[in-house]
Chain A
Amino acid sequence: MPSIVAYHRPTRLDEAVNLLIESNRLVLAGGTAAVPRARADGLNAVEFVDLQALGLDRIDNAEGRVTLGAMVRLGDMADSDSVGSLPARLARRELPSIMRDQATIGGTVAEASPDSVLLAGLLVHDARVEFHDHTSLPLALVLDDGPGDKIIVAVDIDPTGDGAISATGRTPADVPIVAAVARSTTSGIRVALTGVAAAPIEVDPSDPTADLMPTSDFRGSSDYRLELAETLVRRAVGEVS
């Protein structure tokens, strides 16, 4: 029988929090991943709590940082002049046009796809994830552990600094097999990789593959991914140095 059995659209955050106390209720952001996954799953009945009416779709600048509401569409981020050139570029690179206009930044964080170049970019832009209870965590921790039972309400980044992406895929716009994203900061260069761990991961630019054990798949073996990581980090760093 249908696996999506109810739909809720709260208009206040506390209403959303209360709705999500039930274990079979899931946050619905853009729905690009959650809807097809739930519809394909005929076994587990879920209820969606749609965050579209909570006003979480603003991009705000304050004190040198940018706060992206969880429901900001990647398309809006890509078109924004205020999020920094690299994050905007990576938002465009992340998905094709229509999906980009449906997917949200909060949903992207929650999905934690290992291949997400946008998440790699957010890592090097010092992203912190803000939750409904006014707490926040570095993005890296959220990618490792997930948001748990908290609602992501925003992602906060430092938009400054020059950035670069170096990627290898089957075709120019393919989801990269491995991508390296670098950003120069006043304290040095920060680098993150996709395609080498369970989620995008920030690495030491001087030893980018230390402790990495990528999983092989049909697009690239583990050894190949490590080789790519070394090469692509070198290039990305070279570009921003």
Chain B
Amino acid sequence: MEITFTLNGTTRSISVQPHETMLSVLRGLGMKSVRFGSDTGETGASAVLIDGRLINTDILLAAQADGHQITTVEAFNAAELDAVQTAFMATGALQSGYSVPAMILGTHALVAKNPNPTEAEVRDLLSGILDRETAYVKPVEAIMRAAALLRGDKTEPFAPAIIEPLTDGHTPVVVRPDDQAPDFSLAVPRVVLSPDVPEMSVVGKPEIKVDAIKLVKGNPAFTDDFDMHDMLIAKVLRSPHAHARIVDIDDSRARALPGVHAVLHYKNTPRVKYASGGQSYPNPHPHDQVSFDNKVRHVGDRVAAVAADTADIAEEAIRLIDVTYEPLPAVFDEREALIPGAPVIHDEADTEGIKDRDRNIVHHIEANRGDVDHALASADRVFEQTFRVHQVQSTPIEPHISIAWLDSDERMVVRTATQVPFHTRRMLAPLIGMTVKDIRIIKPRIGGGFGAKQEMLIEDIPAHLAIATRRPVKLELTREEEFVSSRTRHPQTLTFKTGVNADGTLVAQSLRVIGNTGPYGSHAFTVQVVTGLRALTSYNCPNKRFDCDVVYTNIPVPGAYRGYGAPQGEFALEAHMEDIAHEMGFEPLEFKRKNWVKLGDELDIAPHLGERAVAEGELDEYPRVTSCGVEECVAQASRAIGWHRHTDPDWRQPADRPNIRRGIGFAFCMHGTAIPFLDMGGCSIKLNDDGSFNMLIGATDLGTGADTVIGQIAAEVLGVRLEDIKVYSSDTDMTPFDTGAYASSTTYISGTAAKIAAEAVRKRLKERGARLLGVDEPCTVELRDGRAWAPDGSSVSLEEIALDSLHIEDQEQIMGTGSYFSPECPAPFGAQFAEIEVDVDTGQVTVVKLVMAVDCGVAINPITASGQVEGGLAQALGYAHCEEYALDDNGRMLNAELGPYKIYRADEMPDIEVYLVQTMEDSGPFGAKAVAEIPMDGVVPSIRNAILNATGVAMNELPFTPERVWQALRSEA
């Protein structure tokens, strides 16, 4: 049918199919700012203005738009940025930027209706656009600022607030009740400077992200934003059974369908074993997957894949594949999977490395220091508690998507939304029968990852299909597929046993974990190792034991998710420590403080865990805490939350609201920075004619700001502005190797690689500069402000040096390379507080405020760093409070949509306040440590401890949903 509409002021008449959505039509017309997030209108990523209203185009038939006026963000893309785009850039409201075009359009619509919107109205606008990255903190600020700019109001530059320290860096202080935290907008990062950190030119500054312009303009940037000629669309047939053998597949009807070009399944695809977790070589065993198997092990597991001319034909072909299943008994709970007689998930002969196949035990992990049993026997008090944590998903708004094709040299090229391009290249090669050198992985911008994309999850499917069809093939997961076939956080059952002396000193601590890895090992080993690591290194104790079984079940597959095992362990640990303190009559924060690790303390069980674990006795020296700002964190955050109120009975039980109890909870947080002896990143930098630099890095920016931060590090070394560093990242043909974006490693590892490369370039610039300046000793030349300076104050520009070196004398390309891996894993620290209210009649918990103060060393960019903390807190909030996988008795997910699953919206977020407490970490680039994952660690236990403070009820199972809390309150009563 023919429709006519106005698109960005131009009348368009086109032919559409009745079932076509406006999303697909607009993208076909080149409006790549309009993006897919779901088929249900839930994400808002596809929203455009229709007759001035913000409308979701993923649920709007193109025919419905006939006769209407449509505006996309491309309409605002003049050479100069408009006020809204400028505000989003200035405030750091962009992380991945995937849904930012919708936010910008919404801002225009809101301000057109109401030039002076309140924050509540802004939050209401944003309620329709889900964001997993920012906690909406900075987008709210951006919209308020944009409205002010559009009104013509004067605005101050958006910059961090410098907060006076409250401690000497080490000594605890008690914050007086009348001591109020400074009052700034919540979006403003609060930075507490350290005297150990020198003033720098670019590092530590709120630089605008290097990819900001393309994101605010909605320019083509993501995997799906580049059109390929003759591209086929792939769809995957997925298992309806939690556990079944595939007796037969008949694909004849699908193959006969016009427009179908390939149908792949276990009968016609090589059986090559692999493990999908994106990890360094060699991938941990077991290698328990193949591209297409003759057995399915969870609802949503792969059965077959089709490549066809259109998505409609591919979907129809999927329906025409006849599969004969032999359903098998299934098991979902990790404790039941261990019981003799439980269904055996992996009974095939060709999977090696399963610890105990018949009992579904994938791995058994043990680590010891000291003699736990002896110490427990002699301790004054012994406490034992069991905790259960559930399954959740990171739900990036951009689903997994890959496009694969054979280039003119017949090499396989895969453009894909991945956190691990180099691992993907290596892991893909054997599956498709090609060599590493014949595969190129390109990572464009990514619409969020959070660990879900630390996986070679789907790339083999379009690659197989591209080989079969000799045409480009695209596979993009639907939102439901994202839920049932992507990766999730591991459920676990955790049992702590702790011995404590009467004075509150820990003498023994053991942790028994049963980890649920679903049907595939993926990240099973390493995630549970991190659980043990994080749960057992935070507190000093001479005797420790970690004992873990990781088991197979038939739930959707767990894998990597921001925090990577730490949130589970830290929940149990901080809850356990809280309860011990209460039992023994100690003030919990003081009890924890007495025992938590401090500057110089050993990280005592760390070397005994992980891929490179060593036994006690094989180690000369334990790693130690090399920088620690936790006391300043506690002081700042406790002041900001109003910690003194937690002991005030009148506040906790407000007289005018008889059903409400209030509480504040605290959690001590400690994480790691990268994986020592394993993570490695590379960088190369070359000088251009105009004195600018191209920097190539393998590091993978997921929206985190990694490209910006690494660029700042190089700019600081080279004495130039950030804008003079042109960053290109993550293309396995073009950039140096990097293990990828995970383990809070990028700033520390890849940033140090950039620093090394820049130092090599700097050395040569100084040598050439010295020659031009007539200086005998190049080491006396300084680089700053884009120039090389002699001691006498004369200078030459880097452009002059570049032109000289490239064109005039002793021509050479000034360039440098660097790579870095670390033997160290410096710990970031944090203090997390949560204020909550509990409705004791209904069990509903309302989170009022979250405050986190983080010692991440030197925040290279305080705006992106605080954005990382805000986003992490919001994801952790969902983990604690509302998100969960609901499976029926047959393993089918009941809530595979973002609404029923429940992602927090902008109009219901608690206040979030972030402090960045500087310390100087000497091993990190310009003092930096990690920041991306630690905000996942303390929210859950602080909310749990706040509920305890409010009601006296200890919640030892997640999430804290109303009925669960109500049941606990009734049990307590």
Beta-carbon contacts under 8 Å, B1-31 to A:
1, 17-19, 21
Are the C-beta atoms of A102 and B59 separated by less than 8 Å?
yes
Is residue B39 within 8 Å, beta carbon to beta carbon, of the partner chain? Answer: yes
Min distance, Cβ B231 to any Cβ of chain A, angstroms: 19
Is residue A97 within 8 Å, beta carbon to beta carbon, of the partner chain? Answer: yes
Which residue from A97, A171, A227 sits with its C-beta under 8 Å from B54?
A97
Is residue A40 within 8 Å, beta carbon to beta carbon, of the partner chain? Answer: yes
Are the C-beta atoms of A36 and B963 separated by less than 8 Å?
no
CB neighbours of A52 from chain B (8 A): 64
Which residue from B17, B40, B905 sits with its C-beta under 8 Å from A36?
B40
Beta-carbon contacts under 8 Å, B44-65 to A:
44, 47, 53-56, 59-61, 63-64
Min distance, Cβ A169 to any Cβ of chain B, angstroms: 7
- In the complex, residue of chain A having the shortest beta-carbon distance to the beta carbon of B315: A42
Min distance, Cβ A230 to any Cβ of chain B, angstroms: 9
A39 to B884, CA, bound (A): 26
Is residue B907 within 8 Å, beta carbon to beta carbon, of the partner chain? Answer: yes
Beta-carbon contacts under 8 Å, B839-869 to A:
839, 841-844, 846
CB neighbours of A98 from chain B (8 A): 41, 44, 47, 54-56, 106, 128-129
A31 to B58, CA, bound (A): 11
Are the C-beta atoms of B895 and A218 separated by less than 8 Å?
yes
CB neighbours of B197 from chain A (8 A): none
CB neighbours of B905 from chain A (8 A): 96, 171, 173
Are the C-beta atoms of A174 and B882 separated by less than 8 Å?
yes
Given A31-B59, A98-B44: A2 and B844 interface contact (C-beta under 8 Å) = no
Is residue A239 within 8 Å, beta carbon to beta carbon, of the partner chain? Answer: no
Is residue A24 within 8 Å, beta carbon to beta carbon, of the partner chain? Answer: no
A7 to B894, CA, bound (A): 31
Is residue A1 within 8 Å, beta carbon to beta carbon, of the partner chain? Answer: yes
- In the complex, residue of chain A having the shortest beta-carbon distance to the beta carbon of B311: A2
Is residue B358 within 8 Å, beta carbon to beta carbon, of the partner chain? Answer: no
A221 to B61, CA, bound (A): 37
Are the C-beta atoms of A35 and B53 separated by less than 8 Å?
no
Cβ proximity bits A75-93 to B, threshold 8 Å, 1 near / 0 not = 1000000000000000010
Min distance, Cβ A77 to any Cβ of chain B, angstroms: 14
CB neighbours of A101 from chain B (8 A): 53-55
Given A102-B55, A174-B882, A218-B894: A5 and B18 interface contact (C-beta under 8 Å) = yes
Beta-carbon contacts under 8 Å, A133-192 to B:
168-175, 177
Which segment of B119-127, B240-248, B739-747 sits at the interface?
B119-127
Interface centre among A3, A52, A102, A170 (most CB of B within 10 A): A170
Are the C-beta atoms of A35 and B17 separated by less than 8 Å?
no
Is residue A231 within 8 Å, beta carbon to beta carbon, of the partner chain? Answer: yes
Is residue A126 within 8 Å, beta carbon to beta carbon, of the partner chain? Answer: no
Given A98-B128, A171-B902: A3 and B962 interface contact (C-beta under 8 Å) = no
A108 to B461, CA, bound (A): 41
Interface centre among B55, B129, B316 (most CB of A within 10 A): B55
Min distance, Cβ B899 to any Cβ of chain A, angstroms: 7
Number of residue pairs spanning A and B whose beta carbons lie under 8 angstroms apart? 139
A36 to B21, CA, bound (A): 10
- In the complex, residue of chain A having the shortest beta-carbon distance to the beta carbon of B63: A7
CB neighbours of B899 from chain A (8 A): 175
Cβ proximity bits A41-54 to B, threshold 8 Å, 1 near / 0 not = 01000011010100
- In the complex, residue of chain A having the shortest beta-carbon distance to the beta carbon of B839: A168
Min distance, Cβ B42 to any Cβ of chain A, angstroms: 8
Given A4-B19, A219-B961: A97 and B902 interface contact (C-beta under 8 Å) = no
Is residue B966 within 8 Å, beta carbon to beta carbon, of the partner chain? Answer: yes
A68 to B406, CA, bound (A): 57
- In the complex, residue of chain B having the shortest beta-carbon distance to the beta carbon of A98: B128
Is residue B904 within 8 Å, beta carbon to beta carbon, of the partner chain? Answer: yes
Is residue A193 within 8 Å, beta carbon to beta carbon, of the partner chain? Answer: no
Are the C-beta atoms of A220 and B962 separated by less than 8 Å?
yes
A28 to B843, CA, bound (A): 39
The interface size of chain B toward A, counting residues with CB under 8 Å, comes to: 54
CB neighbours of A61 from chain B (8 A): none
Q: Is the interface of A mostly helix, strand, loop or mixed?
A: mixed
CB neighbours of B53 from chain A (8 A): 75, 101
CB neighbours of A217 from chain B (8 A): 886, 894
Min distance, Cβ A4 to any Cβ of chain B, angstroms: 4
CB neighbours of A2 from chain B (8 A): 17-19, 312
A28 to B773, CA, bound (A): 76
Min distance, Cβ A139 to any Cβ of chain B, angstroms: 24
Are the C-beta atoms of A9 and B882 separated by less than 8 Å?
no
Are the C-beta atoms of B61 and A35 separated by less than 8 Å?
yes
CB neighbours of A175 from chain B (8 A): 899
A48 to B59, CA, bound (A): 14
CB neighbours of B40 from chain A (8 A): 36
Is residue B66 within 8 Å, beta carbon to beta carbon, of the partner chain? Answer: yes
Cβ proximity bits A194-237 to B, threshold 8 Å, 1 near / 0 not = 00000000000000000000000111110010011001100000
Is residue A99 within 8 Å, beta carbon to beta carbon, of the partner chain? Answer: yes
A221 to B964, CA, bound (A): 10
Beta-carbon contacts under 8 Å, A3-57 to B:
3-7, 9, 28, 31-32, 35-36, 38-40, 42, 47-48, 50, 52
CB neighbours of B151 from chain A (8 A): none
Is residue B453 within 8 Å, beta carbon to beta carbon, of the partner chain? Answer: no
Min distance, Cβ A72 to any Cβ of chain B, angstroms: 13
Which residue from B19, B106, B884, B904 sits with its C-beta under 8 Å from A218?
B884
CB neighbours of A50 from chain B (8 A): 63-64
CB neighbours of A169 from chain B (8 A): 844, 962
Are the C-beta atoms of B63 and A102 separated by less than 8 Å?
no
Given A97-B54, A101-B54, A217-B894: A228 and B127 interface contact (C-beta under 8 Å) = no
CB neighbours of B846 from chain A (8 A): 172
> Could you show 24 A-B contacts with beta carbons less than 8 Å apart?
A2-B19, A4-B19, A28-B64, A32-B41, A35-B21, A36-B40, A42-B319, A48-B18, A48-B63, A50-B64, A96-B128, A97-B54, A97-B106, A98-B44, A98-B128, A99-B128, A102-B55, A170-B882, A170-B959, A174-B908, A217-B894, A219-B961, A220-B963, A232-B842
Which chain A residues have a beta carbon within 8 Å of chain B's beta carbons? 1-7, 9, 28, 31-32, 35-36, 38-40, 42, 47-48, 50, 52, 75, 92, 96-102, 168-175, 177, 217-221, 224, 227-228, 231-232
Which chain B residues have a beta carbon within 8 Å of chain A's beta carbons? 1, 17-19, 21, 39-41, 44, 47, 53-56, 59-61, 63-64, 66, 106, 124-129, 312, 315-316, 319, 839, 841-844, 846, 881-882, 884, 886, 894-895, 899, 902, 904-905, 907-908, 959, 961-963, 966
